[in-house]
Amino acid sequence: MYETTYHRPSSVDEAAALFAKGTESKYLAGGHTLIPVMKQRLASPSDVIDLGKIKDLVGVEVSADAVTIKAATTHYDVAGSGPVQKAIPALAHLASLIGDPAVRYRGTIGGSIANNDPAADYPAAVLALGATVKTNKRSIAADDFFKGLFSTALADGEIITTVSFPIPAKAGYSKFPHPASRFALTGVFVVRTKSGEVRVGATGASQNGVMRVPAIEAALKANWSASALDGIKIPTSGLMSDIQGSSDYRANLIKVMAQRAVTAAG
Amino acid sequence: MSTVKLTVNGKSVSADVEDRTLLVQLLRDHLNLTGTHVGCDTSQCGACVVHIDGRAVKSCTVLVGQANGANVTTIEGIAKGDELHPMQAAFRDNHGLQCGYCTPGMIMSAIDIVHRHGGKLDEATVRHELEGNICRCTGYHNIVKSVLDAAGRMKVAQAAE
Amino acid sequence: MGVEGIGASVVRKEDRRFITGKGRYVDDIKLQGMTFAHFIRSPHAHAKVKSIDSSAAMKMPGVVGVLTGQQIIDDKVGNLICGWAITSKDGAPMKMGAWPAMAPETVRFVGQAVAVVIAETKNQAKDAAEAVVVNYEELPAAADIRAAIKPGAPQLHPEAPGNVIYDWAIGDEAAVKDAFSKAANVVSLELTNNRLVPNAMEPRAAIAEYNEAEEHFTLYTTSQNPHVARLVLSAFYNIAPEHKLRVIAPDVGGGFGSKIYIYPEEMVALWASKKVGRPVKWTGDRSEAFLTDAHGRDHITKAEMAFDKDNRILGLRVKTHANLGAYMSLFSSAVPTYLYATLLSGQYNIPAIHAEVITVYTNTVPVDAYRGAGRPEASFLVERLMETAARQLKVDPAELRRNNFITQFPHQTPVIMAYDIGDFGASLDVALKAIDYAGFPARKAKAKSEGKLRGIGFSCYIEACGIAPSKAVGSLGAGVGLWESAEVRVNPVGTIEVLTGSHSHGQGHETTFAQLISERLGVPISQVQIVHGDTDKVQFGMGTYGSRSLAVGGTAIIKAMEKVEAKGKKIAAHLLEASEGDIVIENGEFKVTGTDKSIALPMVALAAYTAHNLPDGMEPGLKETAFYDPTNFTFPAGAYICELEVDSSTGKTSFVNFVAADDFGRLINPMIVEGQVHGGLAQGIGQALLEGAVYDSSGQLVTASFMDYTMPRADDLPSFKLNHTPTLCPGNPLGVKGCGEAGAIGASAAVINAITDAIGNNKLEMPATPDRVWHAIHGNAA
């Protein structure tokens, strides 16, 4: 990788100030997205600003209505959090499926959604649960946050501080892993909110990154059961196609993973 | 360039290195701890796994700055003198290694697996938990056997302490 | 059997250094004043190199030199060679295009080196490499077999019109035609044997050091055969004469064939070390391994098998196109010919076989031997044909095989090989019992009632190992002999060193070979040191590949051992005042049979070295060498049965059971043997389900990292149930056959036969990814 300057700020404000000083700064939390890219010399940040050691950015808070995860909380800590397991078990389950154990010790929710990899797991949960992404500047609704492949509503230098997930009536996540990378070849997160709304987020499938699946939402709204999706046909247009999954296969996986997620949600 | 200070296998170490230096490079190139290996460049093979503050992580995906002040344990640091760690002994006794290249990372990951699951390990769990470690020689059969064997040994050792 | 002798599953002597992080691999070595090399590689599959401008790079911090392909040619370093000459059926020699270590004019695959930067640190070398400006003129590329043989395809080498290297044939074409004319049934099949990336976990590496005063080079390298490397570097590449070149292959992290060859990077490191006057280290990364290590397999085949009315095979006709990549790698020409077509008889009585093999150049990295090398391709073809035939003829697949097994030995096949011994029925019986074949229909029905598709698949493989009788392979075009050498040194204090030309990179030679000594002399293996991997220490060796180390290398040790024993007996008889014929060796002592008189080995050794009291005319010392050239190949064989389930909604395959019954002859260390089988099975299953190197039509490698190329992981594989049905090999004194490649040879057909059985569709290519299996179940319209 190219030489860079590493910083370890102790507050969000200090991090933002350091970011502004650098000519081409990058934030790093767990580093499991940025460092591999830097190793390939595909990124050459002048300054790397480590958010992982900022105490205010680590931890989980659960209230009656929401699970709030601070941005630099690792996948391991979310997966193993008793309160998260109790409030939104599907979310803890999703965190337990990201990468591998060593990656889960380092990777963070903020890093994952800020990167918005089209095959990452977390975006499916953020979108389906209608989470709110809070930054050092504002709050962003999930529906406004993801802007396509590796692209989000975040402004340059903006720092995610928390992601707040409303606790749903029911939720489930089912993932078919890419055989090599173990990202999602397709992963589907299904939610029935306490007000009866149904939201479904699919990752790994669309050329534009995480997406909602209206056909499945409508069918599940009418009948919350796996069999309600038996006759559903997901259109292949806009879906990714590669050596591990053609678009028609991915369309099938969206349906099958949604069915399994509903079964898991109960 | 920065000065990093950390504890490696119980000893305080300090080095002046470029900020782009990875933890694995610090270990291998600066501290001559060559037991930690590099088998890929996409953070997947796990040959580089070490423990940072007790957690098994991929040292090829950690900048030295991130490890500043941390407590790092490598494959060279787990035996007590001549007495092998139970995981090392189990790998030897169950023929859990062939060429030996993935072995240090496997052992460091496997210790972490046992720490997290205690005595509740079964074959399916071990196979799933080894997702981040690739071996090309053993077909994993004897690695799985080794981890299950060591889980029992570590339980006994813990009970004795 | 002694506790540490033949047949004992003793734990490995070499393990302690590996489990404590004290192994010594090439990249672990640091030399004083060492510099680092980074190669500049072509981003294009086919292009002219118009110019290389290194002036800016030369001014970068830490840069010691930038060297180009033209310079290496100017210094008269030879081109890379292919060491096995194959003659086309029309009598023409194979058409070998020139392969310079760094391309001066034309690049023919993505990743081919055009220049190298040498710098004080690795990062400085990489930084400077970006400042080297290479001007390419892109040419159209032919990225696979079909593209390369199309009329008007881009031409890779002027020497090979139409990109064809040779069009070779074996067998009796007229006899096959006759057999098919009499057939009651003909079964035909078209299949692809998918291209694989070896991916030993240790990437290749080299450190070269030149001693100017001595005009002597030392090369540390990741090699399976350091003496072959020295021979080739000296005799063909003109780097240095053999006595001025030491090659050391220390601990090597897996090979699987990919570390047999002498690659451009090692050549360049040696040459550059003299050029810059400093030691030069190059350590490949995984991306470079994907782009530059020799790949394996990559065949397209059409085959037909003729059966009589009793379902006995009458004949086999095969036409295979094999992709050798952009250049002919060291043994590439032999793989799809003498290592493939000669095994097409499988375990079966086939009166007539004819096979035509056409090899082609493509704009891809060279293809050469990878674990199994030709034999997996042959076994996969024959076993897919047998399974297809069973389905088409509506007979039980086990019975069809049994009905056609060779049962009389020796057996001369129509394709060169003379099988010496085997019991194919015994292996099949044990495997059938182990998997409870009788209970399969009930299990399948139960699975069906639970919505799962269950299948069972067989593979009865045979391979030719212990390569090879030098005279035989010489007559077939090999450029080298394939014997092995060993030296057994009994030191004056009675400890023993065994120097072997075999090389261990995971196979456990340090233990298995010590067990051979322990068995003969009754000494503990802790007293025996196995020395290998250094041309300055070991007299010579042909190295480790083709499952040859025990059958050939081990026999060489036995031959040297016999000489030591004979001399030791003479000394003991002399000291004990007994007749030489009455001396026996037991538990580390030379004993006079029928008496209580004995003398311990260390005393015999001491006597040999003090030479105060030796028989008249005897030379002092107790060390002997042997060269052993095998008289025949060995023929490991066995039966693999795979039972699995397919999830029809996702196409995902899950193993239920995988059983093996192998005949490797005598087992020296069953624990190590089984470890070899496990690893081979994983690679065979990997080929069947997961692995496949894919180039796009422009010649870019799509599967160029572990993110895209699926390596088998622990949760992809089952635990294996192994059984042994040995028949002792008559061709060597140990009765051994070799076990390193069996799993990789036999497993893939068992898996594909099981999946196609489960889904009821015989058309399925490897790797059988969930996507492919799902399409095979539901079709494209689903």
Name which of B58, B91, B13 is nearest C16 in CA terms. Answer: B91
d(CA C569, CA C574): 8
Which residues of chain A lie closer than 8 angstroms to C708, CB-CB? 180-181, 243
pLDDT band at B160 (very low <50, low <70, confident <90, very high): confident
For A243, which of C650, C702, C782 is closest by C-beta distance? C702
Mean pLDDT within A72-100? 98
Going by their DSSP bridges, the two strands C280-283 and A170-177 should be labelled as unpaired
Phi-psi region of A147 (alpha: psi -120 to 50; beta: other; left: phi over 0): alpha
> Buried b / exposed e across B108-138, counting CB within 10 Å, b at 16+?
bbbbbbbebeeeebeeebbbebbbbbbbbbb
The answer to whether C361 and C165 are in contact (CB under 8 A) is: yes
Q: H helices of A80-206, where?
A: 82-87, 89-96, 101-106, 109-115, 122-128, 142-145
CB contact under 8 A, B61 and A38: no
Taking chain C (782 residues) in consecutive chunks of 10 residues, what is each chunk's mean pLDDT?
86 98 98 98 98 98 97 96 96 97 97 98 96 98 98 97 98 98 98 98 98 98 97 94 97 97 97 98 98 98 98 98 98 98 98 98 98 98 98 98 98 97 98 98 97 97 94 92 95 96 96 96 95 96 93 96 97 96 95 96 97 96 96 97 98 98 98 98 98 98 98 98 98 96 98 98 97 94 50
Residues C536-562 as b/e (b if ≥16 CB within 10 A, e otherwise) read eebebbbbbbbbbbbbbbbbbbbbbbe
Asked if residues A171 and A90 have their Cβ atoms less than 8 Å apart, the reply is: yes
Tell whether pTM > 0.95.
Answer: yes
Residue to mutate among B29, B92, B98, with most C CBs inside 10 A, is B98
On whether the CB atoms of residues C547 and C462 are closer than 8 A, the answer is no
CB pair distance less than 8 Å for C709 and A41: no
B28 and C672 in contact by Cβ < 8 A? no
Residues 52-91, chain B, touching C (beta carbon < 8 A): 74-76, 79, 84, 88, 91
Give the H or E element holding residue C607: helix C601-610
Nearest of B23, B5, B22 to residue B14 by alpha carbon: B5
Distance from CA of B109 to the nearest CA of C (A): 13
How would residue B144 be classed by pLDDT, with cut points 50, 70 and 90?
Answer: very high
Q: Do C710 and A179 touch (CB under 8 A)?
A: yes
Domain locations along chain A: 5-50, 57-166, 170-265
Q: Please judge whether C20 and B75 are an interchain contact, meaning their C-beta atoms are less than 8 angstroms apart.
A: yes
For residue A6, give the nearest of B49, B65, B116 by CB distance. B65
Beta bridge partners, C632, equal: none
Q: Which residues contact B33 (CB under 8 A, 6 or more apart)?
A: B8, B9, B27, B74, B76, C21
Q: Which two tokens stand for residue C95?
A: 């058409």
Instruction: For chain C, give the longest Cα–Cα distance.
Output: 90
Phi, psi (degrees; rounded to nearest 5) at A86: -80, -40
Per-residue pLDDT tens for A156-193? 999 999 999 999 999 999 999 999 999 999 999 999 99
d(CA B90, CA B147): 7
C712 touches A: beta carbon within 8 Å: no
**Facing residue for A31 by CB, picked from B63, B68, B116:** B63
Average pLDDT rounded to a whole number, residues B91-117: 98
Q: How high is the ipTM of this complex?
A: 0.98
Residue B64's Cβ-side half-sphere holds a number of Cα atoms within 13 Å equal to 29
Question: What's residue C2's pLDDT?
Answer: 60
Cβ–Cβ contact C708 with A under 8 A: yes
Q: Say if C451 is an interface residue toward chain A (CB within 8 Å).
A: no
Which of these CATH numbers, 3.30.390.50, 2.120.10.10, 3.40.50.150, 3.40.50.720, describes A170-265? 3.30.390.50
Q: Which CATH architecture has domain A5-50?
A: 2-Layer Sandwich (3.30)
What per-residue confidence (pLDDT) applies to C426?
98
Secondary structure class of C343 (helix, strand, coil)? helix
Note the pLDDT of residue C782: 46
Given a cut of 80, is residue B161 above it in pLDDT? no
Query: Which amino acid would we find at residue B142?
Result: N
- For chain A, say whether C654 makes contact (Cβ under 8 Å): no
pLDDT at C1: 44
Q: At which residue do the structure tokens 């002859």 appear?
A: C665
**How many A-B residue pairs are in contact by the CB < 8 A criterion?**
80
Three-state SS letters, chain B = CEEEEEEECCEEEEEEECCCCEHHHHHHHHCCCCCCCCCCCCCCCCCCEEEECCEEEEHHHCEHHHHCCCEEECHHHCCECCECCHHHHHHHHCCCCCCCCCHHHHHHHHHHHHHHHCCCCCHHHHHHHHHHCCCCCCCCHHHHHHHHHHHHHHHHHHHHC
Picking from C419, C421, C415, C429, the residue whose alpha carbon sits closest to that of residue C460 is: C429
Question: Is the distance from CB of C145 to CB of C321 less than 8 angstroms?
Answer: yes
Tell me, yes or no, if the two domains A5-50 and A57-166 fold the same way: no
Using the predicted structure, report yes or no on whether residue B92 has a pLDDT greater than 50.
Answer: yes
Q: What is the chain A residue with the closest CA to B128?
A: A100
CATH class held by domain A57-166: alpha beta
Q: Which two tokens stand for residue C262?
A: 């002498």
At residue A221's C-alpha, the angle toward residues A215 and A225, to 5°, is: 95
Residue type, C162: G
Substitution target in C12, C13, C20 with the highest count of B β-carbons within 10 Å is: C20
Angle, vertex CA C461, rays to CA C458 and CA C464, nearest 5 = 175
A246 vs C contacts (CB less than 8 Å): 771, 775
